[in-house]
Amino acid sequence: MSTAPAPSPCTQVCTMDASTGLCHGCLRTLDEIARWGSLDDAGKWQVWERLALRRAELSRLGVDVDGRVPRRASGA
């Protein structure tokens, strides 16, 4: 885990997806967003670790986590 100060994952696209409970921009939950300011750097890096896992899982499920739309299979 890094000892550098943790940057905010906020991308200024602050809209929540009602079906997943995740922010469209940063993929955090409302709880993660609300608690961010009170977390120490270790806690913030833990959120970053969860975001990496969340992003990987959504990608595995075929969700384009940048555009948040289903990815088309190549050649389709």
CA atoms of 23 and 13, how far apart (whole Å): 8
The count of structural domains within the chain is: 1
Q: How far is CA 50 from the centre of its chain?
A: 8
Per-residue pLDDT of the chain (76 residues; tens, 9 = 90+): 556 789 999 999 999 999 889 999 999 999 999 999 999 999 999 999 999 999 999 989 988 777 554 444 444 4
Q: Which of 49, 41, 51 is nearest to 4 (CA)?
A: 41
Question: Is residue 7 domain-resident?
Answer: no
Q: How far is CA 65 from the centre of its chain?
A: 9
Question: Is residue 63 domain-resident?
Answer: no
Question: Is residue 20 domain-resident?
Answer: yes
pTM: 0.79
* Torsion, CA 11, CA 57, CA 68, CA 13, rounded to 10: -20
Question: Is residue 69 domain-resident?
Answer: no
Q: What residues does 23 pair with on adjacent strands?
A: 16
Q: Which domain holds residue 42?
A: 12-49
